[in-house]
Amino acid sequence: MEEKELKTGFWRVNMIRYSVLILIAISLSLFFSLILIRRAGSIGEVVVRLVPLSEDASLLGRVPVNKLPAYQASVEKDVQLMQRKLGNLVPNQPYLVVNTTHNTFRLMQSDKVLREGICSTGSYTILTRGDDQKWVFETPRGMMKVRNKQANPVWVRPDWAFIEEGLPVPSPRHPSRYEYGTLGDYKLELKDGYLIHGTLYKRFLGMAVTHGCVRLGDDDLKVVYMNLKPGSKVFIY
Amino acid sequence: MRPSAIIKRVLKEIYHFLSWFSRSKPAMILAIVLFLLLPVYVFYLAIVVPASSCDSDFATGDTTLIELPGIDPDSSQGILETVKAIGNLELEKAYLANLLELSQQDSAYLYLNLSDSLLNMEVQGVTMRSCTLTDIRVTRRLRCLNQSQLLNWVSTPFMGQADLSTIPKIRYVVKEAPKDTNEAALQSAKPIPPDSSSVYFTLYFDKHLTIEVGQNEEPYDEEEEIIDIYQEGIQSVIRSETMRAILHGSSPEPQILIRLQVSKADARAIYRGLPVHPGLALKLQ
């Protein structure tokens, strides 16, 4: 009876010890595994160094040895053709590149910079009225073409220009819609009513303040107006 | 029971446990086996397999050396030189083809030229921003790809899948229309000053390519937290992918990481100018 009790006690003590041991071993194991997972990238870099570089001559499986020079010439020709095609993508005519992040512009012709400076672009403001009306003031990105250009432009104020000032929106042809001088000396139309034009607020040049149009200083606008024609490309990013 | 007595008791139990452990051989073996089992498994799946299988993951098929019967060693060397030159030309052709393909899109894409240390953002073949890379780090894994594997890897443009960044792509400000002219006059017309916060971003592309871009300039002290969150984000992506693979009993996809450094202005313009899923043409040599 006493012996049995002793045996049971022995097994109980050992079971507890083994359980503790297993728990500690698994915890440590998990801990080191997580460290390994966390450092897998950097340790992997070291291991990759040990992998021998594989030699490659699979081309010889595709092209017979005696046809190698002809194949080389044909690849060279393809490369030259592609380089020419890529070169042709750059417009020969002057084009404009506008950076909406830093509010700068570059007037280019091929790889030559004709003029660069600051501008103002969309303010990324969302104007809301009620639940159903919303205007987003941002400059569209991508490649656009100049549709039209005009000296001494008149600004036909859209609805948002009145709503933004807390004014009632007049009828489409109401005289209060027409403003002279606001757009500066010139305007170049892009798409969907977006323009490149001048500004009365020159202190804001270099900042994101517009309703989506690109505003330029007077001298810059004149150079851009003189160089860009209907069809000229404008790249905005 | 007093706290000192509890501590004494615990220390005594630990002593007994350790002395039992040092005497019991089966316990030691069990502990070592249990301790090593998982880390060895993780090491094998997460590190050894991706490192040793980088050939097969990017393999094009036949990459074995072809015997050149009847050709003396000297001319064989010459042929291999020609093969190498053709290989370089094929890589050049592949990246030009990628640029032509990307130029057909309306949105901006990246052109990364590691040999000239250039990162360009282009639209329809026109460079909008060209950045000089001041530092380039490329993962060693790229080294174990041979020419035909590289050619296969770069044969189509890389397409962006996701990104992480310390700055938002666009920060919109929502303004409620004023009810009258008085309310309009009260609304602030002050423009938001240009953002000067630090720029770090990571672009995840298909075909296991990750590009990390960071600014040259030292970040401001107060930005430490946001940069830590960003770094933690990168780590958690790697960790979760590795974990997921290991839990499925497979090895994580071997990633190719390219780390670039540009000026802060360039980094900001590139990140903001890129679409959510940008294309990339990569020129390695």
The per-residue pLDDT for A182 is 93
Structure tokens at B127: 């460079």
The per-residue pLDDT for A67 is 83
Structure tokens at B105: 């899109």
Q: Confidence band (pLDDT; 50, 70, 90) for B66?
A: very low
Helices (H), chain B: 3-23, 25-43, 49-52, 54-57, 73-103, 147-154, 181-186, 224-247, 264-273
**Nearest residue on chain B to A71, alpha-carbon basis:** B86
- Nearest-angstrom CA–CA distance, B95 and A83: 11
- Nearest-angstrom CA–CA distance, B39 and B33: 11
Contact indicator for B97, B279 with CB cutoff of 8 Å? no
Q: Is the confidence at residue B13, as pLDDT, over 70?
A: yes
Q: Complex ipTM, two decimals?
A: 0.79
- Nearest-angstrom CA–CA distance, A138 and A6: 85
- Nearest-angstrom CA–CA distance, B141 and A50: 11
Interface contact flag, B66 A76, Cβ < 8 Å:
no
| Contact residues, chain B, for A76 at CB < 8 Å | 89
Amino acid letter at A170?
P
Which helix H or strand E contains A142, and what residues bound it? strand A142-145
Q: Is the confidence at residue B274, as pLDDT, over 90?
A: yes
- Nearest-angstrom CA–CA distance, A137 and A116: 24
Q: Which residues of chain A have pLDDT under 50?
A: none
| Contact residues, chain A, for B27 at CB < 8 Å | 17-18, 21
Residue B120: Cβ within 10 Å count = 19
CATH of the domain at A154: 2.40.440.10
Q: Is A90 on the interface with B (CB under 8 A)?
A: yes
Grouping H, G, I as helix, E, B as strand and the rest as coil, residue B165 is strand
Residue B96: Cβ within 10 Å count = 20
DSSP 8-state code for residue A148: E
**Nearest residue on chain B to A61, alpha-carbon basis:** B66
Size of interface A-B (CB pairs under 8 A): 259
Q: Is the confidence at residue B250, as pLDDT, over 70?
A: yes
The per-residue pLDDT for B61 is 39
The per-residue pLDDT for B127 is 94
- Nearest-angstrom CA–CA distance, A36 and A50: 18
More confident residue, B192 or B222: B222
Which helix H or strand E contains B129, and what residues bound it? strand B126-132
| Contact residues, chain B, for A209 at CB < 8 Å | 191
Query: How many Cα atoms occupy the beta-carbon half-sphere of B91 within 13 Å?
Result: 19
* Nearest C-alpha neighbor of A105 from the set A148, A153, A135, A139: A139
* Nearest C-alpha neighbor of B258 from the set B151, B169, B135, B146: B135
Grouping H, G, I as helix, E, B as strand and the rest as coil, residue A56 is coil
Where do we find the tokens 């004149």? A222
Contact indicator for B203, B275 with CB cutoff of 8 Å? no
Entry field: residues in chain A: 237
**A173, part of any domain:** yes
Structure tokens at B92: 């050049």
- On average, the pLDDT of chain B sits at 85
Interface list for A 185-204 with B (CB within 8 A): 204
The per-residue pLDDT for B75 is 65
**A6, part of any domain:** no
Which domain does A129 fall in, by range?
A: 95-236
**Structure confidence by residue, pLDDT tens digits, B199-211:** 999 999 999 899 9
Interface contact flag, B51 A48, Cβ < 8 Å:
yes
- Nearest-angstrom CA–CA distance, A181 and A137: 21
Which helix H or strand E contains A234, and what residues bound it? strand A233-236
Which helix H or strand E contains B281, and what residues bound it? strand B279-283
Q: Is the confidence at residue B14, as pLDDT, over 50?
A: yes
**A101, part of any domain:** yes
**Structure confidence by residue, pLDDT tens digits, A110-120:** 889 999 999 99
The per-residue pLDDT for B210 is 94
Q: Is A168 on the interface with B (CB under 8 A)?
A: no
The per-residue pLDDT for A56 is 57
Percent of chain B residues topping a pLDDT of 70:
90
Contact indicator for A205, A102 with CB cutoff of 8 Å? no
Pairing mode of beta strands A112-122, A208-210:
parallel
Amino acid letter at B41?
Y
Contact indicator for B84, B278 with CB cutoff of 8 Å? no
Handedness of CA A177, A183, A187, A189 (dihedral sign): negative
DSSP, residue by residue, A101-133: TTTEEEEEETTEEEEEEEEEEE--EEEEETTTE
Strand partners, A116: A106
Interface contact flag, A128 B71, Cβ < 8 Å:
no
Grouping H, G, I as helix, E, B as strand and the rest as coil, residue B210 is strand
**Structure confidence by residue, pLDDT tens digits, A7-36:** 666 667 777 888 888 889 889 888 888 888
Q: A178 vs A109, A174, A214, B6, B276, CA distance in Å?
A: 35, 8, 20, 89, 39
pTM, entire model = 0.79
Q: Which range is most confident: A157-166, B62-71, B247-256?
A: A157-166
- Number of structural domains (chain A) is 1
The per-residue pLDDT for A44 is 75
**Structure confidence by residue, pLDDT tens digits, A67-96:** 888 999 999 999 999 999 999 999 999 999
Rounded to the nearest angstrom, the gap between the alpha carbon of residue B163 and the centroid of all alpha carbons in its chain is 10
